[in-house]
Structure 1
Amino acid sequence: MDNRPIGVFDSGLGGLTVVKELKNILPDEQIIYFGDTGRVPYGNRSRETIRRYTAQDIRLLQSFDVKMIVAACGTVSANVLEKEIEGLKVPYTGVLLPAVQSACAVSTNGVIGVIGTTATVRSGAYGKAIRGIRPDAKVIGHDCPLFVPLVENGMVERGNRITELTVQMYLTPFLTEDIDTLIMGCTHYPLLYGFISDIFGNHVTLIDPGKETAHYVQNYLTSSNMLFEGDDPQPNRYFVSDTVDGFCETAEKFLQRDLNGQVERIMIEDY
């Protein structure tokens, strides 16, 4: 057993999709979550800046003696190289590979769409990973840079006309393609799941990176005998690099629980 917490980080609120799924399948595990809300979004930054932010985020989580680190951010997963995290003394995963493995498994015709931040789509990492599993796959990627700001500003309620129009603008081009699977290549995007599914109906399988990554973590900890064992599970702790209030309001709606006293602001620049 290993009763240390799991460390999860993202540029903002999106990584809560991983947290929610982890708590569903591993309810006794403590999670230390960091949302870099003061520097969100990562998706329009240079690769060098993304890697610098990532190094700081990881150092913060390491200060809590976590047993595993999850980069719950599609942009980080697509832009941080293996050699840059190979020195970590704890296991690490991003969201890219779990999502890609699932997409390749469920796609019937091998035509797979990918949506993500500009930095994610520009990196080509999802396409490379997909073709590493299915060399004959056709990958169609489009960036959706306004999705993250919509989520971070809490504009996720069904019926929000601005969000509806933005989703239509970005996703309508996919309707002329023959995709049967779409990877939501940013953990913010599942908070817009209803809007996205309205575009495609039942014709396209949507891959939620948060859900796939949570199951990857469960399998890893189980096979490595690192699951929590005991009668006294500890509460999650949440850290942000900007105001607590805005984060709490949207996070509580999504997680459907009160976060009073569990969210703290930290100075990420100190790491």
Structure 2
Amino acid sequence: MKKSMNAIGMMDSGIGGLTVLKAVKALLSKESIVFVGDNARNPYGPRRPEEVVQFARQIAHFLIEKYDIKVFVIACNTATACALPVLQKELNIPVIGVIDSGAKAAVKTSQTGRIGLIATEGTVKSAKYQDEIHSLKPGAKVFAQAEPDFVQLVEKNTYQTTAAEEEVAEHLQDFGADKIDTLILGCTHFPLLTKSIQKAVGSGVKLVDAGAATAVDLAKSLKSMDLLDTESAAAASYELYTTGPVDAFEVIATDWLGQGDWHFAHLPVEELEQK
């Protein structure tokens, strides 16, 4: 049975999209949110673009059919790079991704035009960030680096360890020679590693959280389309699904989001594959 919640629908390849959910909740406290983390099929970065499009399409149809969502937020950079234009054409609701928002925020932040990007292989290879930044600031220099291992630090809940901090420092040391002044966290998992990333690149480099920038743009879009929820904040609900183990997902989610009225549930991949 369809639950008409007038909700915001969100998806990610796993845990990372919760950083976007947190930012959206802070800005739009009256909005109900339904989130799907596709942990069982994570990571998306090494997958073929056609496969990522299919996964995003399946999740979108699940959310539309079950919750009658009013907007679909692709809170995953790889899925945005692969599936955003396709789903914008296919779905009859607004579809918003994270790349345009992150690129705009980076260009606005950078003083020198030397911008670093860390993301998954799929996002880096798509060149979506690079193209968008160059269209906004033709003279900009973009130094892109794929960091798939960072995703696994978060998914395996080891991102707060000393070993994780050391690994991040080792991976990002080359950015010093690039003399960047801005670094885009081009994967929604990466804000959970903010402390380690900032320490690795130095306090002189400003970090751009593409997910947080997306939350701001989402709020503006909902207002312009007259889709903002006007009910009281007490009426907002938060349904969080994972295609992987619920216990592990819940531990990381509550650590990042804090205690709250979160409702966690398992969503079998087999159910999505029927969409």
Normalising by structure 1, report the TM-score: 0.94
Q: Aligned-pair RMSD on alpha carbons?
A: 1.5
1:109 is aligned to: 112
Deviations 1:38-64 (A, max 9, x none): 111101111121111111111112121
CA pair 181-161 structure 1, distance change in 2 beyond 3 A? same
Which amino acid in structure 2 is aligned with residue 238 of structure 1? L
Cα pair 1:142 1:170 within 8 Å, conserved:
no
Which amino acid in structure 1 is aligned with residue 81 of structure 2? A
2:241 is aligned to: 239
Does 1:175 pair with 2:176? yes
State the distance in 1 between where 2:126 and 2:56 align.
16
Once structures 1 and 2 are overlaid, which stretch shifts more, 93-102 or 223-232? 223-232
Deviation (angstroms), 1:259: 5.9
Which amino acid in structure 2 is aligned with residue 37 of structure 1? N
Which of 50, 58, 70 does residue 48 from structure 1 map onto? 50
Once structures 1 and 2 are overlaid, which stretch shifts more, 77-86 or 241-250? 77-86
Deviations 1:3-29 (A, max 9, x none): 600001000110000110111111110
Which of 12, 15, 33 does residue 13 from structure 1 map onto? 15
2:96 is aligned to: 93
- Tell me how many residue pairs correspond in the alignment: 267
Which of 123, 128, 138 does residue 126 from structure 2 map onto? 123
2:217 is aligned to: 216
Deviation (angstroms), 1:201: 2.4
State the distance in 1 between where 2:5 and 2:156 align.
35
1:192 is aligned to: 193
Cα pair 2:87 2:95 within 8 Å, conserved:
no
State the distance in 2 between where 1:3 and 1:53 align.
23
Does 1:150 pair with 2:168? no
Which amino acid in structure 2 is aligned with residue 269 of structure 1? E
CA pair 259-40 structure 1, distance change in 2 beyond 3 A? farther
Deviations 1:213-255 (A, max 9, x none): 1101111111222111123523110111121000000100000
1:70 is aligned to: 73
1:202 is aligned to: 203
CA pair 259-146 structure 1, distance change in 2 beyond 3 A? farther
1:269 is aligned to: 273
Cα pair 1:95 1:210 within 8 Å, conserved:
yes
**Structure 2 spans left out of the alignment, 5+ residues:** none
Deviation (angstroms), 1:81: 5.1
- Percent identity of paired positions between Structure 1 and Structure 2: 34
State the distance in 2 between where 1:269 and 1:62 align.
15
Which amino acid in structure 2 is aligned with residue 78 of structure 1? A
Deviation (angstroms), 1:192: 0.3
Deviations 1:129-170 (A, max 9, x none): 11011111111100001011110111122xx12211221222
SS at match of 1:238: strand
State the distance in 1 between where 2:260 and 2:230 align.
25
Which of 28, 31, 35 does residue 30 from structure 2 map onto? 28
Cα pair 2:84 2:96 within 8 Å, conserved:
no
2:61 is aligned to: 59
State the distance in 2 between where 1:87 and 1:45 align.
22
Normalising by structure 2, report the TM-score: 0.93
Deviation (angstroms), 1:87: 2.5
CA pair 209-108 structure 1, distance change in 2 beyond 3 A? same
Cα pair 1:252 1:259 within 8 Å, conserved:
no
State the distance in 1 between where 2:84 and 2:42 align.
21
Cα pair 2:29 2:236 within 8 Å, conserved:
no
State the distance in 1 between where 2:240 and 2:16 align.
13
State the distance in 2 between where 1:228 and 1:203 align.
39
State the distance in 1 between where 2:209 and 2:110 align.
14
